[in-house]
């Protein structure tokens, strides 16, 4: 190939075994077409326009599918262009963090697109997550599976991505448990922003996982005759794992909604308690103000106005009244 920037790996596989040496992509593909049980696997990472055009020209990829490769914001889907299948996946990774804050990044996502043809498979990765080096190593270590052809590669990629979904779902359980404990803790230090941030991260994870249901279901349909029987069974296992992750995400989302409502209810109660306290102190102050206001009218005839102990008597009355109101309001839970 004339352009190598963006190429992670490129190899010819014959009978599940990697052919030695590196050659021009067009020559490898021509060799694969002439050799029984052979196919080419080229892995790309954020390829440039020139490289993508060269790959598209070599494998006769449909322009609409190539256009979808360029646009990074794509939902998981499966499309067919003649004898070539175009599969879009969303890769994800769990971001380790010491505590949950209102800006914690919990899930990082990327994208993997695949062209699967009779004699070739092209994987295109966008973002920092979803590296396929380990997938290639594992498949090369099991040549009997790789001998099934390009769809064995497609299964290996899907299996790795869904397995990562499973790990993320298990790790997020700890975050959900932390939020649940924080909502019902005595100090109630957990803020609503923390719950909302976790919901946002869960939504990002959900947007990567849920749309994959339809492509995985489509791969089980009878019209996908190009899938080897054994690979179809493997895809069924991937679909089962994916379904469990979808169920977990739904449960997490429902639980977070309940926790958010519970925290909002707690905030409302706390605000009501604050208003009660304010009203209670206002009532105590109002009594003092009322007494002082009456004696401040300077009328000629006032109760105890000319009594020698009138001034301290009124102060005592104000003090006793304040203590009485305080104890009464505290007894009913307003203070």
pLDDT at 161: 95
Residue 32 lies in a domain: yes
Domain count of the chain? 2
- pTM over 0.85, yes/no: no
User: Residue 2: inside a domain, yes or no?
Assistant: no
Range of 309's domain?
267-331
Q: Which residues lie across from 10 on neighbouring strands?
A: 42
Whole-number Å distance between alpha carbons of 89 and 209: 9
Which pLDDT score, from 0 to 100, does residue 324 have?
Answer: 79
Q: Could you tell me if 241 and 318 lie in one domain?
A: no
Q: Is residue 121 part of a domain?
A: yes
Distances in Å between the Cα of 245 and the Cα atoms of 78, 133, 209 are: 20, 24, 8
37 inside domain? yes
In this structure, the answer to whether residues 184 and 230 fall within a common structural domain is: yes
Has residue 146 been placed in a domain? yes
The reply to whether 152 and 15 lie within a common domain is yes
Query: Which pLDDT score is estimated for 157?
Result: 95
Query: Quick check: is 246 in a domain?
Result: yes
The span from the CA of 77 to the CA of 46, in Å, is: 19
Closest-CA residue to 232 (of 217, 253, 247): 217
Q: How confident is the model at residue 242, as a pLDDT?
A: 95
Final residue in a domain of this structure, among 225, 250, 266:
266
Residue 1: inside a domain: no
Round to whole Å and give the CA distance between 20 and 281.
86
**Positions in the chain short of pLDDT 50:** 1-2
Q: Residue 131: its pLDDT value, please?
A: 87
Which CATH number fits the domain that encloses residue 68? 3.30.460.20
**Residue 224 confidence (pLDDT):** 66
């Amino acid at each position: 190939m004339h352009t190598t920037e963006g190429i992670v790996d490129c190899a010819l596989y014959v009978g599940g075994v990697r052919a030695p040496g590196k050659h021009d992509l067009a020559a490898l593909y021509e060799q694969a077409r002439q050799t029984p049980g052979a196919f080419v696997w080229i892995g790309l990472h954020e390829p440039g326009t020139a490289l993508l055009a060269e790959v598209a020209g070599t494998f006769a990829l449909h322009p609409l599918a190539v256009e979808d490769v360029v646009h990074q914001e794509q939902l998981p889907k499966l499309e067919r262009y003649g004898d070539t299948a175009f599969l879009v996946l969303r890769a994800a990774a769990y971001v380790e963090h010491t505590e949950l804050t209102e800006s914690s990044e919990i899930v990082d996502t990327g994208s993997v697109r695949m062209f699967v043809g009779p004699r070739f498979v092209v994987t295109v990765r966008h973002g920092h997550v979803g590296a396929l080096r380990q997938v290639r190593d594992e498949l090369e270590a099991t040549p009997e599976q790789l001998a099934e052809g390009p769809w064995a590669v497609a299964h290996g990629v899907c299996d790795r991505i869904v397995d990562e979904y499973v790990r993320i779902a298990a790790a997020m359980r700890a975050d959900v448990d932390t939020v649940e404990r924080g909502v019902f803790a005595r100090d109630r230090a957990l803020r609503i922003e923390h719950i909302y941030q976790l919901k946002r991260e869960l939504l990002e994870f959900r947007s990567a996982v849920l749309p994959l249901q339809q492509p995985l279901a489509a791969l089980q349909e009878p019209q996908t005759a190009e899938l080897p029987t054994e690979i179809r069974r493997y895809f069924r296992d991937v679909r089962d794992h994916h379904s469990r992750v979808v169920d977990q995400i739904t449960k997490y989302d429902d639980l977070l909604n309940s926790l958010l409502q519970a925290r909002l209810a707690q905030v409302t109660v706390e605000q009501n308690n604050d208003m009660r306290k304010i009203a209670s102190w206002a009532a105590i102050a109002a009594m003092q103000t009322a007494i002082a206001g009456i004696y401040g009218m300077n009328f000629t005839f006032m109760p105890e106005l000319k009594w020698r102990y009138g001034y301290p008597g009124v102060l005592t009355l104000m003090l006793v009244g304040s203590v009485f109101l305080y104890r009464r309001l505290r007894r009913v839970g307003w203070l």
